[in-house]
Chains A and B, each alone.
Chain A
Amino acid sequence: MSAATSWTIAGVRAALEAKKISARELAAEFYARIDSRNRELNAFLTLSPERAYAQADRIDAAIARGETLPRLAGVPIAIKDVLSTQGIRTTCASKILESYVPPYDATAVERLDRAGAVFLGKTNCDEFAMGGSNENSAYGPVRNPVAPDHVPGGSSGGSAAAVAAGLVVAALGTDTGGSIRQPGAYCGVPGLMPTYGRVSRYGLVAFASSLDKIGPLAANVADAAAVTQVIAGHDSNDSTSADVPVPDYSAELDKPLDWLRVGVPEDYFGDGIDPEVKAKVEAGISLLHKLGCRRVPLKMPHTDYAIAAYYLIATAEASSNLARYDGVRYGLRVPGATLTEMYRNTRERGFGPEVKRRIMLGTYALSAGYYDAYYLRAQKVRSLIAQDFADAFQKVDAIVTPTSPTAAFRLGEKTADPLQMYLADIYTVTGSLAGVPGISVPCGRTKAGLPIGMQIFGPHFSEGRVLQIAHAFEKAGGFDL
């Protein structure tokens, strides 16, 4: 996509205000792009032109009346298909919800609607957001727009691919163990996981409730900040949403990085990291140093235990959350002679292999006789990992790491061995367990041309600082190192 055809949120606003294009024409332009690329990429599961054009017409009417436009007026956006959208099918990329149409909007979705965004459609993902490659979708994998024989990452692979291919200006993703940051890294776009509780989870179909977060993927950091601004803030419909004021993120972006202390944990650069990834992230850290950050070496001694703790906690919560899909109230029902047989038939037919695997693991970890050995032990290790972050943030303002040990892998390369797939989440699950915000930003490409991601963590509710560092990095050419 050439620069001339790439849109930013500020660019959409300027073009609408100057009446160079209408919101309806802009939506149509993006639908034409989707039409030409989606057959190949499979980034969208459902298009929602009826709602999109109604939203666009509302904006065009507001322009005609000379009203002040809301923050995201006319901005074409995609929404990951685990977020409830009123009147638009929401499948979670699962057969069990193939024809489910939510009667309400998720809070994050409703806030985007009120801010004037135009919802082009729902993006593909791993089934119930469980996966790191998008190969667990019941509707086929998404292809990476940068290298179509490679995965886009997951689970928000459709959102990342749609942004990277220019099919939308921004997208909502969700992140439980890396599902915004890792596909952002693999597709070469920034993706922010906000602090746990920063964005209401109301209307997000639950995977692991103590870990799930909603955040943006966008073509640039300023747009990620603008979307975060709209969706953040307390919501009485989510008892875990934090009642903490939301700062003006856009105003933070251009503050200088004077003497910010950036921690580099040696535990994130050890065995298993691809040398090309390591070299580019090191180059990224050097660039931050040139921009005025101080580099502080760190130790985060429990990093090596994060995968084990994460996969026990996340699957335990998933086994409980997914108990609701039983064929009684909504979604697929496969008949059976008894109620139990109906449950079993419905879940056998409705869930894919990875979802079943995680439900089994979580059920096992919570079952009588194993709870203390697995689930309780994992929760204790979660405390230690959170403490590693708390200790680190006594010494530094931010932590910089690779997002993933490798760049995107080939479709089918890792599907035979689930444990190997899980181990690749090592750099993202730590921050997920601690509940801190983290962004992945592009930091160059491998020799084969695949994007590499650098991750920036900050303390709880420091989205402003994380975005500020990422924005300075982008402006200094860090994305193309």
Chain B
Amino acid sequence: MKISREDVIRVAELAHLGLTPDEVERYRGQLDDILTYVEKLNELDLDKVEPMAQVLHAGSGDRHPELRQDTLLPCDVAVPILAQAPDAAKPFFRVPRVIEK
């Protein structure tokens, strides 16, 4: 068994997911199957292999197309963004109390 009920509950807490006891059991079984399957990656010798986080295209390394001119651009979007908020007290988002009295 790769993953226990306690592991599932701990991961759900890390991910801020509420789970019912039934879901805990179901996910435990399914995640166990998946984690057992991905064990096959251990068949490969990866000691000398570099990890690949992103597709980097030839030439993009020195030309840095990801960098733009360091100039201010207008970003006047507070009103439409706050209009989507479940609970806004302009110009803020309101959330339940975080710090106890």
Residues of chain A lying within 8 A (CB to CB) of residue B87: 333
Q: Is the interface of A mostly helix, strand, loop or mixed?
A: helix
Between-chain CB contacts (< 8 Å), 22 pairs:
A100-B84, A197-B57, A210-B54, A236-B68, A244-B59, A308-B37, A329-B84, A329-B85, A344-B16, A347-B17, A356-B17, A360-B8, A360-B12, A360-B17, A361-B34, A364-B3, A364-B7, A364-B35, A380-B50, A384-B44, A435-B55, A461-B57
Interface residues of A (CB under 8 A from B): 100-101, 103-104, 196-197, 210, 234, 236, 239-244, 302, 304-305, 307-309, 311-312, 319, 323, 326-333, 335-345, 347-348, 351, 356-357, 359-361, 363-364, 367, 374, 376-384, 386, 417-419, 422, 434-435, 460-461
**Total of A-B residue pairs, C-beta within 8 Å:** 166
Q: Give 1 or 0 for each of B1-21: 1 = CB within 8 Å of chain A CB.
A: 001000110011011111100
Q: Name the 3 nearest CB pairs between A and B, nearest first.
A: A435-B55, A348-B18, A243-B65
- With contacts A196-B55, A361-B34, A381-B44 known, is A327 near B86, CB below 8 A? yes
Identity of the chain A residue whose Cβ is nearest the Cβ of B80 in the assembled complex: A103
Residues of chain B lying within 8 A (CB to CB) of residue A197: 55, 57
User: Among the listed A308, A363, A377, which residue makes an inter-chain contact with B46, where contact means beta carbons less than 8 Å apart?
Assistant: A377
Does B25 sit within 8 A of A, measured CB to CB?
no
In the bound assembly, the distance between CA atoms of A335 and B97 in angstroms comes to 12
Given A308-B37, A329-B93, A379-B51, list of 10 further CB < 8 A pairs? Answer: A239-B67, A311-B34, A330-B86, A338-B97, A343-B16, A356-B19, A359-B17, A363-B15, A418-B33, A460-B55
Does B49 sit within 8 A of A, measured CB to CB?
yes
In the bound assembly, the distance between CA atoms of A419 and B50 in angstroms comes to 28
Residues of chain B lying within 8 A (CB to CB) of residue A239: 66-67
- With contacts A210-B53, A347-B18, A380-B49 known, is A419 near B34, CB below 8 A? yes
Give, as a whole number of angstroms, the nearest-CB distance from A379 to chain B.
3
Give, as a whole number of angstroms, the nearest-CB distance from A277 to chain B.
23
Q: Is the CB of B81 within 8 A of A242?
A: no
Q: Is the CB of A339 within 8 A of B41?
A: no
In the bound assembly, the distance between CA atoms of A244 and B57 in angstroms comes to 9
In the bound assembly, the distance between CA atoms of A241 and B44 in angstroms comes to 32
Interface residues of B (CB under 8 A from A): 3, 7-8, 11-12, 14-19, 23, 27, 30-31, 33-35, 37-38, 40-44, 46, 49-55, 57, 59-60, 63, 65-68, 77, 80-81, 83-87, 93, 95-98
Q: Is the CB of B81 within 8 A of A329?
A: yes
Q: Is the interface of B mostly helix, strand, loop or mixed?
A: loop
In the bound assembly, the distance between CA atoms of A323 and B14 in angstroms comes to 10
In the bound assembly, the distance between CA atoms of A332 and B7 in angstroms comes to 28
User: Among the listed A342, A345, A360, A376, which residue makes an inter-chain contact with B15, where contact means beta carbons less than 8 Å apart?
Assistant: A360
Residues of chain B lying within 8 A (CB to CB) of residue A242: 57, 60, 65
In the bound assembly, the distance between CA atoms of A63 and B70 in angstroms comes to 42
- With contacts A100-B84, A244-B57, A348-B19 known, is A338 near B96, CB below 8 A? yes
Give, as a whole number of angstroms, the nearest-CB distance from B58 to chain A.
8
In the bound assembly, the distance between CA atoms of A413 and B54 in angstroms comes to 35
Residues of chain A lying within 8 A (CB to CB) of residue B18: 344-345, 347-348
Identity of the chain B residue whose Cβ is nearest the Cβ of A241 in the assembled complex: B65
Residues of chain B lying within 8 A (CB to CB) of residue A348: 17-19
Q: Is the CB of B96 within 8 A of A336?
A: yes
In the bound assembly, the distance between CA atoms of A308 and B46 in angstroms comes to 15
